[in-house]
């Protein structure tokens, strides 16, 4: 099943459960933006409270929520057994991919990202509505474990075992030139810089040559691939891009926020 759905296809229907996942690091106004204008029928999914467990140095800034909590959130969103779900945001899927990944991890098969997000919907002639949407509660049952994950130790060992560990953060964070939120700057030794923003075109849709992009980063057929970012959010976007290219990849939920909080963990800097 495709990772993506085009706005034109979504407009034609039938309409799935729609999740508005507008969120950005340091921007607490996602819900306000949702209320001001969203796809008709879309429910706001709060990344901080519904798509993550409370932060801790041991687990990182956005640990995976318990599957029971994710199931309760999905039912609040109105998801029922057998429903199709489409998640979107206004940033090329960088936040919405967290919902995509978590619901796939929870066991839902038919979950896609709106390619290009809110802008693509509007450009295709889609209307917006304002205010909150409170659907009838759903009855979906989630099980967890349907998408692969890595621990910190497993991620660190991947390059030496012939795999590829992709760092989805901005290149300057990978190189250790800046670090806006986490305890130390740099990257996991052996990781390859692969900013997930480079999986998108200028209009926020996914590139059509993703397989070539990842091949240039050392990902070949049969390669074991792991992905991390700052806290497991944009890494989900990279996993989605890899899936769109036909490549399976494991997510490291704790990511750099977990690694850098442990002073015993080594840190590399520079271009790698």
- Which tens digits make up the pLDDT trace of 65-121? 999 999 999 999 999 999 999 999 999 999 999 999 999 999 999 999 999 999 999
105 and 157 in one domain? no
pTM: 0.97
Q: Would you say residue 141 has pLDDT above 80? A: yes
Instruction: Reply yes or no on whether the pLDDT at 221 is more than 90.
Output: no
Residue 189 near residue 222, CB atoms below 8 Å: no
Q: How far apart are the first and last CA of the chain?
A: 35
Pairing between strand 43-44 and 111-114?
Answer: unpaired
CB 59 within 8 A of CB 262: no
Which CATH number goes with the domain that contains 30? 3.40.250.10
Q: Is residue 71 part of a domain?
A: yes
CB 150 within 8 A of CB 226: yes
Decide if 266 is inside a domain: no
On the question of pLDDT at 133 being above 90, the answer is yes
pLDDT value of residue 47: 97
Per-residue pLDDT at 1 exceeds 70: no
Q: Is residue 187 part of a domain?
A: yes
Find the Cα–Cα–Cα–Cα dihedral 157, 146, 182, 161, rounded to 10°.
10
12: burial class by Cβ within 10 Å (0-12, 13-18, 19+)?
A: exposed
Mean pLDDT of the chain: 97
| Angle made by CA atoms 131, 134, 139, in degrees to the nearest 5 | 155
Candidates 74, 118, 229, 250; catalytic one: 229
- Mind listing the pLDDT tens digit for each residue in 232-247? 999 999 999 999 999 9
**Domain count across the chain:** 2
pLDDT grade for 35, boundaries at 50, 70 and 90: very high
Domain final residue, candidates 106, 123, 140: 123
Q: Does position 183 have pLDDT exceeding 80, yes or no?
A: yes
Do 110 and 221 share a domain, yes or no? no
Assess if residue 188 is contained within a domain. Answer: yes
Q: Which helix (H) or strand (E) holds 193?
A: strand 192-193
Domain for residue 101, yes or no?
yes
Query: Please, what's the b/e burial string for 225-263 (b: 16 or more CB within 10 A of its CB; e: otherwise)?
Result: bbbbbbbbbbbbbbbbbbbbbebebbbbbbbbbbbbbee
Q: Are residues 74 and 156 in the same domain?
A: no
pLDDT of 176 strictly over 90: yes
229 is catalytic: yes
Coil, helix or strand for 26?
A: coil
Domain span at residue 42 reads 4-123
């Amino acid at each position: 099943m495709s990772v993506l759905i085009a706005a034109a296809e979504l407009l034609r229907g039938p309409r799935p459960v729609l999740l508005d996942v507008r969120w950005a690091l340091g921007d607490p106004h996602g819900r306000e933006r949702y209320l001001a204008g969203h796809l008709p029928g879309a429910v706001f999914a709060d990344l901080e409270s519904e798509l993550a467990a409370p932060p801790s140095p041991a687990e990182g800034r956005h640990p995976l929520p318990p599957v029971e909590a994710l199931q309760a959130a999905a039912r609040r969103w109105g998801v029922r057994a057998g429903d199709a779900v489409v998640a979107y945001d206004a940033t090329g899927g960088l936040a919405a991919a967290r919902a995509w990944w978590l619901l796939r991890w929870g066991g839902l098969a038919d979950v896609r990202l709106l390619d290009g997000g809110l802008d693509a919907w509007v450009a295709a002639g889609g209307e917006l509505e304002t205010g909150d949407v409170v659907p009838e509660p759903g009855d979906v049952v989630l099980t967890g474990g349907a998408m692969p994950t890595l621990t910190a130790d497993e991620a660190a060992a991947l390059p030496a075992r012939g795999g590829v560990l992709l760092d989805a953060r901005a290149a300057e964070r990978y190189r250790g030139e800046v670090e806006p939120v986490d305890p130390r700057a740099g990257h996991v030794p052996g990781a390859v810089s692969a900013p997930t923003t480079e999986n998108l075109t200028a209009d926020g849709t996914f590139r059509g040559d993703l397989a070539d992009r990842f091949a240039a980063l050392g990902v070949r057929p049969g390669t074991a691939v792991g992905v991390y970012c700052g806290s497991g959010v944009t890494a989900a976007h990279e996993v989605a891009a890899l899936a769109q290219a036909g490549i399976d990849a494991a997510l490291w939920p704790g990511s750099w926020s977990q690694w850098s909080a442990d002073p015993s963990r080594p840190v590399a800097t520079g271009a790698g």
